[in-house]
Homo-oligomer: A and B are copies of this chain.
Amino acid sequence: MKKEDNPFSVAEAEESPGFLLWQVTSLWQREIRKALEKYDLTHSQFVLLASTMWLTRQNEPVTQILLSAHSKIDPMTTSTVLRTLQAKGLLERREHATDTRAKTVALTANGEKITRQAIKVVEQFDADFFAPLGNKISEFNKKLRLLLQQ
């Protein structure tokens, strides 16, 4: 292969933000999965449980579509995962009071208990995972928020 035919725009794979993001996320998700294993929760399940708790505390009407928007998990996956969590007895899905198309999601007592424990574990894990950034974490957060807002 001829050198002048290089299809890559960067000299090192380590200079591509896309490839770096791919690698970091792969590792992060893999480690989180291990941390959640003891609660028999997948990462997506945890995100939806924590989001349900979060939105409930904001006094939002917790519909599936709102959970999907908040968690950035697509609506179909949200539906599937929530049913799994319902089967596990961690949350309930009732008919919405005013919108009969929608369902209202709420944690059960056990769901609340497990979610609280899992949040602690994940927050500690994240603290460790992002520790190499030191006091640059807020800068990192700011950059991520920039990417979300486009």
Contacts and interface: CB of A to CB of B under 8 A. Distances in A.
Contacts of A57: 1, 6
Interface stretch (A22-30, A85-93, A97-105): A22-30
Which has the most chain B C-beta neighbours within 10 Å: A17, A126, A133?
A: A17
Interface in A8-27: 8-9, 13-27
B136 A72 contact: no
Copies in the complex: 2
Given A14-B141, A14-B145, 5 more contacts: A1-B56, A17-B126, A20-B145, A21-B144, A136-B143
A125 B47 CA distance: 27
- The A interface is mostly helix, strand or loop, or mixed, namely helix
A130 B147 contact: yes
Nearest to A9: B123
A137 interface: yes
Contacts of A7: 53, 115-116, 119-120
A39 interface: no
Interface string A53-83: 1101100000000000011111000000000
Given A53-B7, A57-B6, A130 B25 contact: no
A111 to B, nearest CB: 12
B17 A72 contact: no
B141 A27 contact: no
Contacts of A27: 72, 147-148
B18 A122 contact: yes
